[in-house]
Amino acid sequence: MKMKRIFATGISQESNSFNPLKSTYDDFVIYRGQEFRDTPGLKVLIDAGFDVVESIWPRAVPGGTLNFEDFKRFADEMLTPLEDDRKGFDAVFLPMHGALDVEHIGSGEAYIIARIREIVGQDIPIAAALDMHANIMYGAADAVNIIYGYRTAPHIDVAETHIRAAELLVRALNEGVTPRTKLLRIPYMMPGENMMTSSGIGKEIIEKLPLIEKHENIWCASYFVGMAWIDCYQNGAAVVVSGVGDMSGGIEEASKLKQFVLDNRSRFQYQGNAMEPEEIIDFVKKHSHDRPVIISDSADNKTAGAAGDNAFMLDMFLRSGVENAVFASIIDPEAIERVKSQKIGDVIDIEIGGAFDQGSKKVAMKGAVIKNITLGLSNENSKNLFEDKPRSCVLNYKGIDVLIFDKRKPVFDESTLAEHGLSLSDYNILVVKQGYLSPELLEAAKHSAMALTPGNCNQKIERLTYKKIRHPMYPFDEA
Ligand SMILES: [Zn+2]
């Protein structure tokens, strides 16, 4: 018997359409060949005895909307093997994020899925593994037979999710059935920070998914929080169920979950301290004897796609006279360009911030001292999204050290500080650009708080201007 063939491709980036800096082709790392075949989902398919034909899987850390020409280049390359052998496949496997925003066309995933369906027809199963922060479209749900999403935030089940989606695709092929997907949209948008899955309402929601899966003919159920910082029609939360035949029992259970979410809206809260920026200064003054105090500048969160160039909090700290703090980091390629020709110990007059976003605050530092310069670390060929090291410098100004990068890279832990000549133990206060703190920094902090700053990832989404979302939508149309 002829070996069944599965086509695999995908594209993963979480977009932030409020970041004016568009993402481009070069922001992506492209997995191909053996590297893609070694990922957990593809391994399941290969180990199950299928002939897996993979194209590319471009991945990037969160960023601004992807420019159309570059997306089109990815899409064409992704679909080449399928175009070359239009009827040669028995199934399609797609590891995706689900919140890729593309200039002019909106959802990148919806475009890819629609093109795949156009090529392969209606009869072969397509399975997608998605991030919990995906915004799901009706079109994509209708066209994909199996949709399965992460069940943890912060995400620690990425591999398990890809494995389960692949296993369900194997099941569909082995049983010779074509599952279908039902989407129940929830008119509710919120920042991901309002739903952690280790406790509270987030945990309760995730615990209800197996109850849906207990119903007859249901293969899997997923809950999607959505990605709030994209101005798009498909934004919002959703319950998604995949299965075969009569799925009515599971769909009814899923409707109960939808209602549970709407009825419990007031319970979606931040898990730790969250406060307006003005309150942060008092907070750090109160706790700085019991260090380290770690503050996240939440609206400039690079891990949710913000530009990372806002010196708003730095300006606030400087004006308040707080000292012995380190800011890690602010993205400013021009500043790195200027510092490059100087040496450690030199004193310069420099302006930091607002490199990309007109709305980001700039801060003038007259007489800043150069403490550290790390050049030539940028690795253009780096295959790991998080291994790439930007060029950096550290400037000291009025008792505050500022770590500056030439390109967007998140700071997750103390090792990133160490790579740039800094040690957390030297400071009372660390300010990072995250939403909820990474587990490593949360562990390291004696006290921590999220500052509800203005910017691309404003936690108070009501303060941003959306033009494309559906209405009614909570919290915008709260009665
Ligand atoms: Zn996510």
Q: What is the pLDDT of residues 276-329, one digit of tens each?
A: 999 999 999 999 899 999 999 999 998 889 999 999 999 999 999 999 999 999
pLDDT of res. 409: 81
Measure 226 CA to ligand 1 centroid, in angstroms.
9
Measure 423 CA to ligand 1 centroid, in angstroms.
29
Measure 132 CA to ligand 1 centroid, in angstroms.
5
354: left (phi over 0), alpha (psi -120 to 50) or beta: left
Measure 434 CA to ligand 1 centroid, in angstroms.
13
Measure 347 CA to ligand 1 centroid, in angstroms.
41
Three-class DSSP labels, the chain: CCCCEEEECCCECCEECCCCCCECHHHCEEEEHHHHHCCHHHHHHHHCCCEEEECEEEECCCEECECHHHHHHHHHHHHHHHHHCCCCCCEEEEECCCCCEECCCEEHHHHHHHHHHHHHCCCCCEEEEECCCCCCCHHHHHHCCEEEECCCCCCCCHHHHHHHHHHHHHHHHHHCCCCEEEEEEECECCCHHHCCCCCHHHHHHHHHHHHHHCCCCEEEEEEECCCCCCCCCCCCEEEEEEECCCCHHHHHHHHHHHHHHHHCHHHCCCCCCEECHHHHHHHHHHHCCCCCEEEEEHHHCHHHCCCCCCCHHHHHHHHHCCCCEEEEEEECHHHHHHHHCCCCCCEEEEEECCCCCCCCCCEEEEEEEEEEEECCCCCCCCCCCCCCCCCEEEEEECCEEEEEECCCCCCCCHHHHHHCCCCHHHCCEEEECCCCCCHHHHHHCCEEEEECCCCCCCCCHHHCCCCCCCCCCECCCCC
pLDDT of res. 271: 83
Measure 305 CA to ligand 1 centroid, in angstroms.
11
Measure 131 CA to ligand 1 centroid, in angstroms.
5
Measure 14 CA to ligand 1 centroid, in angstroms.
8
Measure 133 CA to ligand 1 centroid, in angstroms.
4
**Measured CA distances, 216 to 126, 241, 252, 274, 335 (Å):** 21, 12, 12, 43, 60
The Cα 440–Cα 200 span in angstroms is: 21
Measure 115 CA to ligand 1 centroid, in angstroms.
25
Measure 98 CA to ligand 1 centroid, in angstroms.
9
Question: What are the structure tokens assigned to 70, written together?
Answer: 């570059």
Measure 227 CA to ligand 1 centroid, in angstroms.
8
Measure 77 CA to ligand 1 centroid, in angstroms.
25
Distance of CA 148 to the CA centre of its chain: 17
Measure 319 CA to ligand 1 centroid, in angstroms.
35
Measure 143 CA to ligand 1 centroid, in angstroms.
22
pLDDT in tens, the chain (479 residues): 789 999 999 999 999 999 999 999 999 999 999 999 999 999 999 999 999 999 999 999 999 999 999 999 999 999 999 999 999 999 999 999 999 999 999 999 999 999 999 999 999 999 999 999 999 988 889 999 999 999 999 899 999 999 999 999 999 999 999 999 999 999 999 999 999 999 999 999 999 999 999 999 999 999 999 999 999 999 999 999 999 999 999 999 999 999 999 999 999 998 889 999 999 999 999 998 999 999 999 999 988 899 999 999 999 999 999 999 999 999 999 999 999 899 999 999 999 999 999 999 999 999 999 998 886 555 555 555 555 678 899 999 999 999 999 988 888 889 888 888 899 999 999 999 999 898 899 999 999 999 999 999 999 999 999 999 999 999 999 75
Measure 264 CA to ligand 1 centroid, in angstroms.
22
Measure 61 CA to ligand 1 centroid, in angstroms.
11
pLDDT of res. 323: 93
Measure 158 CA to ligand 1 centroid, in angstroms.
10
Measure 16 CA to ligand 1 centroid, in angstroms.
12
Measure 155 CA to ligand 1 centroid, in angstroms.
7
Measure 245 CA to ligand 1 centroid, in angstroms.
31
Measure 149 CA to ligand 1 centroid, in angstroms.
10
Measure 290 CA to ligand 1 centroid, in angstroms.
32
